[in-house]
Structure 1
């Protein structure tokens, strides 16, 4: 998974106010509940020394995702009085949290972006008019997204409708639009549901390359509330336990390199050493994420160590202690490395972390 969506966060020098909030709308009187959360965030950040403008920026964004129905959360990051990133969470945090810190703790956010599968979804429905006797119609809704973040941050939903008796011709036009959307979003899966015969006609009008990516699922695609992904339940069923093609390839390369005894390492000490050298192509992270001890960091992303003495031996002064996840993700983003989130049951890693290396000789680059 590429982490470029975090670039705006690190464009600011910090310190950062960070908040993770449950902003679900499936509760009694959500506005009152959100008001209490907003007040708690203000008090927490002010108590930790955050400036008034930054506190106001976070509080102003808290709960602004009213357009998203149902259960979800929100991650908010601000610095020097300005928002640097606001993102909806498919799953709300177990507990609300607000921190004012030198490094932003974005790990809970990035884990919820995984496996980051690009897809397009299409649902085909029969529309009858028994009351008026008008001819039967078919309607199609389709949308592109990246699972699971699109669950609460969906793309534009397209809607088409036409006579059922002209469906072969209508399906060809819609298939052309669907193909354009799929190619434009680099979709690795085309998930389709709805009336079987009409769905099959639509699939058969797609280019062969896309037909090979089709995943047909049960369900009618209905039921997604405002601000939610089209075919949310069907997508969950299709992608459960699946990695993106890119992440799967990274994991297989890691396994091959590890078997050969070079090009891949695991365990926190070796991972940190590789990050110090800017040597990491991708970091593999086990979920559920285990709680590591803190890491020490300087101002540069490669200034990361298990102890302050180690950084001081490199001539780094003024290093600070902080959560390991915050330090690891900053180093990945700022050195252009990727993240692969993989369940521990599928690939258990020493201390829950491993890295695929860009090069094996510290003195040379590929």
Structure 2
């Protein structure tokens, strides 16, 4: 997950209200229920010590979602009486609406609730062209298409030698159209920044387009066995999206496991456990964070200063480093703040883990691939 969109959160001093609003229920009484939720969130923040202005700002923001058609939910991050960021969620919070008040914004849940939401372009291909559809957890929308040569596109059943020239023209038309579809699909992917391309249609047409896509896109392509003209159901798209997320998490986890082994100089390119990660964050050496959001070390206490690289296991360490002001914070949120400052991404590796993993990898639920200066 690219964390750049979180930058505005770290341009303001805390403390922060972080609220994950469940908007997945849509019924006749939903507006009234959401108004009650807004009131409950404000009371909960006040009970946790939030100032009145911030409580009121969050209450109004949740109340403004009374008639929202968001399918899953919204995250709200507020401080000093202002909602600074309100990204939509790709899936609803597991336990319903959740509320936090802390020195840092509690952004770690975003890795699962919004982080891995692959955007897909579904290409419905036939011999004459293709229609493109943009799909994500937030719904679908038309993404254009392409029309190739219209004639001739069908083979004749005749085996007469006089038909041979016509057959070659049909082959040429197919090849031309496949190339045009591949070019248009590559442009569509670049414009939408889609993570996944799903090709739907007959075997030959899908294969012809797939082969002509640029090399940079080949690992983003999956094919559906649906016949020409059929539309993929939401469940089918979701299954392909879920498998894409699992594969991406597995690739990063495999890289992490391989990087645990020290090189010839005795240096490992991976770290795990809070103390090692705190040290790596202070030295700006985190290249990618790997997190199991419900891991036992994610909520472990660390100490932070005003700047992202000011963090330590003990408060006295910060004073030794020259930091006069310090606060306790969750390890996952402190490490994510450091990752944002240095441009490092983060990913939840939960999709790559067995349901009943005997050992959590990384240990404690926090790990990183490292960069060396």
Normalising by the residue count of structure 1, what TM-score does the alignment of the two structures yield? 0.75
Gaps of 5+ in 2: 154-173
For residues 240 and 126 of structure 2, what CA distance do their matches in structure 1 show? 17
Choose 1 or 2 for highest CA Rg: 2
Aligned counterpart, 2:247:
242
TM-score normalised by L of structure 2:
0.74
Alignment of 1:332-343 (within 5 A): 332-343=339-350
| Whole-angstrom distance in 2 between the partners of 1:276 and 1:354 | 15
Shift of 1:285: 1.9
Q: Structure 1 333/50 Cα, relative in aligned 2: closer, same or farther at 3 Å?
A: same
Q: How far is the alpha carbon of 1:357 from its aligned partner?
A: 2.3
Partner of 1:353: 366
Q: CA deviation at 1:77?
A: 0.8
Larger % of helix: which? Answer: 2
Closer, same or farther: CA 234–212 of 1 in aligned 2, 3 Å: same
Q: What residue number does 1:12 align with?
A: 12
Q: 1:95 — aligned with what? A: 96
Contact 1:172-1:205 within 8 A present in 2 as well:
no
Quick one: distance in 2 between partners of 1:164 and 1:66? 44
| Equivalent residues of 1:265, 1:354 under 8 A apart | yes
Counterpart CA distance in 2 for 1:353 and 1:53 is: 35
Tell me whether 1:289 sits opposite 2:295 in the alignment: yes
The answer to whether structure 1 residue 76 and structure 2 residue 76 are counterparts is yes
Q: How does 1:168-187 map to 2 (within 5 A)?
A: 174-185=181-192, 187=194
Distance apart, 1:37 and its partner CA: 1.0
Give unmatched runs, 5+ long, in structure 1. Answer: 127-136, 225-229, 360-365
1:253 & 1:88 partners in 2: Cα distance? 30
Q: When you count strand as a share of all residues, which structure comes out higher? A: 1
Flag the 1:55–1:349 CA change in 2: closer, same or farther, 3 A: same
Give the one of 303, 306, 313 matched to 2:320.
Answer: 313
Cα distance between partner residues in 2 of 1:123 and 1:59: 44
Residue 196 of structure 1 aligns with which residue?
A: 202
Tell me the CA shift for residue 106 of structure 1.
Answer: 0.3
Is contact 1:179-1:206 (8 Å) kept?
no
Q: Does the residue aligned with 1:89 lie in a helix, a strand or coil?
A: coil
Matched, 1:3 2:16: no
Q: What are the within-5 Å matches in structure 2 for residues 2-81 of structure 1?
A: 2-27=2-27, 29-62=29-62, 63=65, 66-69=68-71, 72-81=72-81
Is 2:143 the counterpart of 1:158?
A: yes
Please give the per-residue CA displacement for 1:249-295, whole angstroms capped at 9, x wherever unaligned.
x5555434321241322211111122122222222223553354222
Q: How does 1:116-265 map to 2 (within 5 A)?
A: 117=118, 119-123=120-124, 140-143=131-134, 150-152=136-138, 157-160=142-145, 174-185=181-192, 187=194, 189-193=196-200, 195-196=201-202, 200=206, 203=209, 206-209=212-215, 210=217, 213-218=220-225, 220-224=230-234, 232-236=237-241, 238-239=243-244, 241-243=246-248, 248=251, 251-260=253-262, 261-262=266-267, 263-265=269-271
- The aligned residue for residue 268 of structure 1 is 274
Question: Is the Cα contact below 8 Å between 2:270 and 2:367 reproduced in 1?
Answer: yes
3-state secondary structure, aligned to 2:349? strand
Partner of 1:278: 284
C-alpha spacing 1:163/1:208, structure 2 compared with 1 (3 Å): closer
Cα shift readout 1:130-169 (whole Å, capped 9, x = no counterpart): xxxxxxx9872322x7xxxx41276x63245979966757
Q: How many residues align?
A: 333
Q: CA RMSD in A?
A: 3.6
Q: Is the 8 A contact 1:117 1:243 kept in 2?
A: no
